[in-house]
Chain A
Amino acid sequence: MKTKRPIQALNEKARAIQSLADGENKSVRASQQGPPAMPVGCTTIFDTGWETNPRPTYPVGNCMSSAKDFHGCAGDCWWPAQVPDGLTNHEDFDKQCPNIARDWRVLKYD
């Protein structure tokens, strides 16, 4: 029985992606195997940015506080899943809360 597709490709690019996905199998590759497939991150080189790296002493990891890095990550779409992207869907979100530490309670975006 053919599985019903939950979504349907409507344009040329979507159909091309669908045809690629048809022949694709689930796969897992450890980052140590071969050249790492790093996502485009916070730098011009394909690395995720050093602020996400663990450090040996305090403070460990991210920016301190994370609110201080919110606008920098949002406006340029560095982390589009976690913060509003300023290039396409939420160009004016900063007007709601130009000072994240002070205004974060009024931040609204879908």
Chain B
Amino acid sequence: MNAKMKNVLLGATIVGTLILAVAGTATAWAKDTYYYIGYGLIQIVDGDSDAIVGEIPVEGWLRETDFSADDKFLYVTANRHLIHKIDLASRQVVHTIDVAGGGWDRFIFGFDLAPDGKTAWVNLLSRKTHKGDVIIGKPMLAQIDLSDGKIIRSIEVPWGSATIVSVKDSSQIYVIGKDIVKVDVAAEEMHIIGEYPMFEKQWNILPLWDNSRENNGVFIVNYYTPELMGLLSIDTTSGEITATPLEGPPVFAYSVMRSPDKKKVYAVMDELTVIDMATASYESITMVPNGTNYAINVSSDGKKIYVAGGGATTTVFDAQSQQAIKVLQMETDGMDFRRVTQHQDP
């Protein structure tokens, strides 16, 4: 091969490599979009610019949320008895149901979409009046029809039950209250198959939301004993429950979220706290400049932390330095801050 031919081949190789590199770069991306769950309103935050880029009017004060498997729809509960279905492309509510019916007021304290997309799991409290007396129904885990809100089947669960978590391909539902009750829902007749004790261990726990979707399939919440704070995690694939007590005086936190590399857990209330999972101890505590927040989320690349809800602010932190890099003034107070990530692999 002569020198000229070698140069041509070398040039072609370089150009080809560059094309592949550019093509690879161009097709591999992840875009985060956040949904600020407010009052009568959901605001949309772009994860690249961290700017508010849209809003969705929604009736009522909003609580639990869940996304459809294809990320096209967001379901949100309102006033504890309405369920709105929101088309994220057109940014509007396309269907609303009320779980009240048959003379009963019903209140949702726990919501999870079923894999079929047509039904949902709800934890319900109920009441009605009869001849001047108030009748309180037994708390129940129910599967409801998302077209009309009617109960398809139900099972009684303990008082104090709230958040529910689907595990093992939704063949079981974990109902979190004073203890965690495991309900087998695979068969036609549901039944309780086990219990994970918390009350007798003196745990105090406030599981506000199921954040397993943004947490690589792991539900995670903080708990308190008289001495310490710990982390309770539920692997939604295996159903395994893990408790991690943390060393040191407890911090106060409403919610926690794991970093994508699983090395850190971030907690928020009045402070943003970084927890090192290798040592199960607190790494840093940083005051949130705008006060208390209920919700926390992490960007899909792990570089930014978002704290929001409670009051009408969203604060963006650099995950490495824990410096606040932006504060968004939201239109309303809020409860949760959800993330949808669109992926394109090379």
Contact = CB atoms under 8 A, between A and B. Distances in A.
Contacts of B312: 99, 101-102
B309 to A, nearest CB: 8
B310 A45 contact: no
B132 interface: yes
Interface in B196-218: 198-199, 203-207
Contacts of B60: 94
Interface of B: 38-41, 60-61, 63, 79-80, 107, 131-134, 160-163, 176-178, 198-199, 203-207, 224, 249, 252, 269-270, 291-294, 310-312, 330-333, 335
Interface of A: 10-13, 40, 42-47, 49-51, 53, 55-56, 59, 63-65, 67-72, 75-76, 86-87, 91, 94-95, 98-102
A65 B311 CA distance: 9
B227 to A, nearest CB: 13
A42 B207 CA distance: 10
A44 B175 CA distance: 11
A68 B291 contact: yes
A47 B249 contact: no
Contacts of A42: 206
Contacts of B294: 72
10 contacts: A44-B161, A44-B176, A45-B178, A51-B252, A64-B270, A67-B311, A75-B63, A91-B79, A94-B61, A99-B312
B292 A68 contact: yes
Contacts of A87: 80, 107
A65 B310 CA distance: 10
A101 B333 CA distance: 9
B211 to A, nearest CB: 16
A109 B249 CA distance: 40
Contacts of A47: 204
Contacts of B205: 43-45
A43 B198 CA distance: 13
Given A11-B133, A13-B133, A64-B270, A69 B310 contact: yes
A56 B206 CA distance: 22
B291 A65 contact: yes
